Structure 1
Amino acid sequence: MSHIIVLHGASSSGKSTIARALQKKIELPFWHISIDHLRDSGVLPLDRYRAAEFDWPSDRAAFFDGFHRSVAAYADAGNHLILEHILDTPGWVEQLQSLFRAHDVLFVAVHCPLPVLTERERRRGDRPLGSAERDNATIHIGRRYDLEVTSTDGTDLCVDAILATWRSGERRSEFSDAKN
């Protein structure tokens, strides 16, 4: 059984900052995995998607299906993971519940006040403006977490709360329900 810490929050909510700090402090070797890593490494032919040479809406489902399966394969091989994700598409949570069934999953909501979120998005400049606000308004609806943190409370406080909850072994999210 591997440990998987899922950080779920809107774009620009602070997931990456928390994940990097958590990875430095947690006592086991955890991989930090996100779509941004793939995007930034050049795995995706983004220039060709932007030039409309390829159709991202047509390819998106296969990309995320492969991403989810690859993350599960890392865990199935015995690797511990910190997964950043925006679960914004119907069926993704259920797919990950199934793929992660054999593992210990800590499901963490990462919140951020909307004015801070939109300012972070504007400063980043690598997202369509308004996507963070759209995510923020919808992605947490109906979700049940093991822990909820607010990134503006400070990275250290968020990391300490995640570590305490992870170490407690108590799980009550929809991921733990899927095991029953």
Structure 2
Amino acid sequence: MTEAKIIFVHGASSSGKSTIARGLQARLPEPFWHISIDHLRDSGVLPMARFKSREFAWREARKPFFDGFHRSLAAYAGAGNNLVLEHILDTPGWLEELAVLFAPFDVFFVGVHCSLPELIRREAARKDRPAGSAEQDFHTIHRDMRYDFEVQSELDADENVGRIIAAWQGRQAPSAFAQLRAERGF
């Protein structure tokens, strides 16, 4: 079995990660799973109605949910599945946690950028996000991040997908995740 590959698409809420991930999955030369929190939420895995009614406290469920989600990603890749992962690293320690969990795999970390006015417009049009979450992400999630490649999602999505695939296929330096593990000794 060959080493699993993970193309990790990271950006603010409403930045275009899903569009890019779907495009990558459609064009990559081998099978890749497209996985995100939205897939779990929208499939009914989470009891969202009960969280929304406050019968269950999301604050209490959030940490074990994301711990399990992160471990599941490593399990999928460990079984030999390639992943296009879209995720928002909005909690301290998640980058380091995933760097350790993903150590056995070939990870390509893609930063997805979008202007604040466009994020706000997209968030309002979607109506499935808490108002202000895209702006909060805009100001925080790219801080101190080192990516293997970066795109601006206001550009043509298909062109961005092509640019990501070309950069992924032509990469030579150790990945951003490998560099992070080496620098921090884990």
Using the alignment, how far apart are the partners of 2:158 and 2:43 within structure 1? Answer: 28
Q: Among residues 28, 31, 53, which one is paired with 2:30 in the alignment?
A: 28
Which residue identity is paired with 1:72? A
1:75-119 C-alpha deviation (Å, 9 max, x unpaired): 000000000000000010011000000110000000111111111
1:115-136 C-alpha deviation (Å, 9 max, x unpaired): 1111100010011111001001
* TM-score, normalised relative to structure 1: 0.97
Q: Among residues 110, 126, 129, which one is paired with 1:127 in the alignment?
A: 129
State the partner residue of 1:146: 148
Structure 1 outlier segments of 4+, above 4 Å: none
Describe the SS at the equivalent of 2:121.
helix
Would the aligned equivalents of 2:148 and 2:175 in 1 still touch at CA under 8 Å?
yes
State the partner residue of 1:48: 50
Moved more, 146-155 or 161-170: 161-170
Say whether 1:169 aligns with 2:171: yes
1:32-60 C-alpha deviation (Å, 9 max, x unpaired): 00000000000000000111111101110
Q: What number of residue pairs does the alignment pair up?
A: 180
Q: Percent identity?
A: 59
Describe the SS at the equivalent of 2:49.
helix
Which residue identity is paired with 2:56? F
Using the alignment, how far apart are the partners of 1:39 and 1:46 within structure 2? Answer: 7
Which runs of 5 or more structure 1 residues have no equivalent in the other structure?
Answer: none
Using the alignment, how far apart are the partners of 1:136 and 1:79 within structure 2? Answer: 31
Q: Among residues 81, 84, 94, which one is paired with 1:82 in the alignment?
A: 84
Using the alignment, how far apart are the partners of 1:105 and 1:29 within structure 2? Answer: 15
State the partner residue of 1:102: 104
Describe the SS at the equivalent of 1:8.
strand
State the partner residue of 1:114: 116
Which residue identity is paired with 1:27? P
Using the alignment, how far apart are the partners of 2:76 and 2:70 within structure 1? Answer: 10
* TM-score, normalised relative to structure 2: 0.94
Using the alignment, how far apart are the partners of 2:180 and 2:86 within structure 1? Answer: 20
Using the alignment, how far apart are the partners of 2:155 and 2:80 within structure 1? Answer: 33
Moved more, 25-34 or 161-170: 161-170
User: Pairwise CA RMSD of aligned residues?
Assistant: 1.1
Which residue identity is paired with 1:48? R
CA shift, 1:157, in A, is 1.5
